[in-house]
Amino acid sequence: MEKNGRKLLFAGFGFMAAFIIWTMLIQNIDVQPVGQNGTNIGFAGSNQWFHKMTGVHMALYTVTDWLGLVPIAVCMGFGMLGLVQLVRRKSLFKVDSDILLLGVYYILVIAGYLIFEMIPINYRPILIEGRMEASYPSSTTLLVVSVMPTLALQVYRRVKNNALKYAVYIRYTSALLFSRSLWSWGGRYRAYTG
């Protein structure tokens, strides 16, 4: 188990390094003022090409926005579980340790979400309701990839019925693949980041 934990830790550091490198590349390679109101866009040539190829699909934009509520609901659900345990057990130290750790993790994820909304690196290629919106890093994608795996881990830990466990995994996997494909393909015009 310790070896597996070490692998996961190194994988996490690897993904963080890849994110940092990609962010630096976006800010320095093929940066041109081709965004709305002349904002600078990284990888401008490939972004313009892909945007012209796919166009704008506001229906997909709306779907991905609504799907962004799913991870928020998951966070709220585990928050309610922790609150119920706190009220029933009358001590913070008697709340399950994994729920407390999950709460700290979700606070960090939400802080990251807010930071990326306030400090945009790239913008969407179109105005949304008359204003420019941040697109990279995608705060919605951050929520999905950060929160939904914790749901799978908690289901594995807490659900004893194997049939129910597999049903949740199948539903979780299909929903994650569907939402990722929307964000990757249809939401690509939103990201405008190469």
User: Is 32 part of any domain?
Assistant: no
pLDDT at 190: 45
Longest dimension (CA), the chain: 59
Number of separate domains in the chain: 1
Q: What does the radius of gyration of the chain's CA atoms come to, in whole angstroms?
A: 19
Residues of the chain with pLDDT under 70: 1, 125-127, 169, 171-194
User: Is 31 part of any domain?
Assistant: no
User: Is 30 part of any domain?
Assistant: no
What is the domain range of residue 109?
A: 57-191
pTM for the predicted model, two decimal places: 0.70
pLDDT at 40: 80
pLDDT at 178: 58
Q: What are phi and psi of 129, to 5 degrees?
A: 55, 40
Angstrom distance (rounded) from CA 32 to CA 41: 6
